[in-house]
Amino acid sequence: MFIIQTYPLAVLFCIITMICWGSWANTQKLAASSWRFELFYWDYVIGILLLSLVFAFTLGSTGESGRNFMEDLAQANTANIGSAIWGGVLFNAANILLVAAISIAGMSVAFPVGIGLALIIGVIVNYLDNPVGNPTYLLIGVGLVTLAILLNANAYRKLSNNRGIVSSKGLWLSVIAGLLMGFFYKYVANSMFPDFNHPISGKLSPYTAVVFFASGIFLSNIIFNTLLMRRPFVGTPLSYSDYFAGKFKTHLVGVLGGIIWCIGMSFSIIASEQAGPAISYGLGQGATVVAALWGIYIWKEFKNAPKGVNNLLKIMLLCYLFGLALLIIAR
């Protein structure tokens, strides 16, 4: 299977993760004019599962290093399979709330608050579980990200007051999503053998772990999204007939969103051996900067904001960038 052998290459993979995780939500924005997010999310999940299988049978099944996918699948024990699947369930519970928050508050709010909070929790949880990296740099980096979240929440509050918006539902959904999302990565990382060049009996390769993780997302979505369709946060209830009535191109947009996200997840997991889980996850969650840039400058989510908000957003982005830089050099 394909394995990263150097830290600089691992950082490059994490940066690709950051771009993918910060950009996939554009597909939801593209579909939003004619397609509810609950319907979009079915295709998004299918895209994640499909790409996890493609990577497993290509990158995960070539080369002499590690253990190829089919061999790894045959020897995997139940506990590690369950850990990867549970990571998928946790992620899906968090992510479906994040997608709901995007549809209500926009990318430039949902990502900095939700994913920023997930970054803080994830870095701490993953570092305590596998202490790789300079704790001082990690702590300061996390502190800067925390400051960025507070600045973004303040900017959104001022925008809401200016527009006469009284609902804070989008902001609270982002917070709940972030609290849940900070824990999923640990379970996926724990299911794998730590040295990808030296497989351990019963443990999973990174490619096998992502397949079971994606399976957890897909299976849990049958429950989570069905409930959300019947009792949506905003709008009228939906049925499965609404989903099947969608145009082929509309479905493809959602599948593309899932593929983009899964490229990021796979690259993050592949990079975690050289970078360490805390740094790999934390740097990937720099997607907040990418998503905020999309939301602010492309989708104009803060258009006509009151005086001072633009300065808050600029300081927020700088805090994120400096925080991410510290996560990179923490190794």
120-168 pLDDT tens trace: 888 888 888 888 889 999 999 888 988 887 887 788 778 777 665 545 7
User: Is 223 contained in some domain?
Assistant: yes
User: Is 17 contained in some domain?
Assistant: yes
Query: How would you classify residue 235: left for phi > 0, otherwise alpha for psi between -120 and 50, otherwise beta?
Result: left
Angstrom CA distances, 145 to 120, 122, 123, 286, stand at 7, 12, 11, 9
Residues 203 and 193 sit within 8 Å (Cβ to Cβ): yes
Tell me the pTM. 0.86
User: Is 102 contained in some domain?
Assistant: yes
Q: What does the alpha-carbon distance between residue 198 and residue 205 come to, in Å, rounded to a whole number?
A: 10
Residues in contact with 254: Cβ distance below 8 Å, sequence separation at least 6, in sequence order: 27, 28, 31, 35, 39, 40, 41, 42, 43, 44, 46, 47
Lowest mean pLDDT among 109-113, 128-132, 170-174, 225-229: 109-113
Running DSSP on this structure, what letter comes out for residue 204?
B
**Element containing residue 48 per DSSP (H, E):** helix 37-57
User: Is 59 contained in some domain?
Assistant: yes
pLDDT for 115 beyond 90? no
Residues in contact with 175: Cβ distance below 8 Å, sequence separation at least 6, in sequence order: 113, 114, 117
Return the higher-pLDDT residue of 14 and 288.
Answer: 14
Entry field: residues in the chain: 331
pLDDT at res. 288: 77
What value does the mean pLDDT take over residues 284-302? 81
Q: What does the alpha-carbon distance between residue 174 and residue 200 come to, in Å, rounded to a whole number?
A: 38
193: its two tokens:
């053998």
What value does the mean pLDDT take over residues 220-248? 95
User: Is 2 contained in some domain?
Assistant: no
Confidence of residue 327 (pLDDT cuts 50, 70, 90): confident
Confidence of residue 234 (pLDDT cuts 50, 70, 90): confident
Q: What does the alpha-carbon distance between residue 241 and residue 261 come to, in Å, rounded to a whole number?
A: 26
pLDDT at res. 166: 44
Residues in contact with 45: Cβ distance below 8 Å, sequence separation at least 6, in sequence order: 92, 217, 218, 221, 225, 258
Q: Give the rounded distance of the alpha carbon of 173 from its chain centre.
A: 15
What value does the mean pLDDT take over residues 259-268? 96
User: Is 166 contained in some domain?
Assistant: yes
pLDDT at res. 213: 98
Q: Give the rounded distance of the alpha carbon of 293 from its chain centre.
A: 16
Number of domains forming the structure of the chain: 1
pLDDT, the chain, mean: 89
Angstrom CA distances, 12 to 7, 61, 93, 284, stand at 9, 22, 29, 10
The domain of 270 spans 7-329
pLDDT at res. 290: 85
User: Is 237 contained in some domain?
Assistant: yes
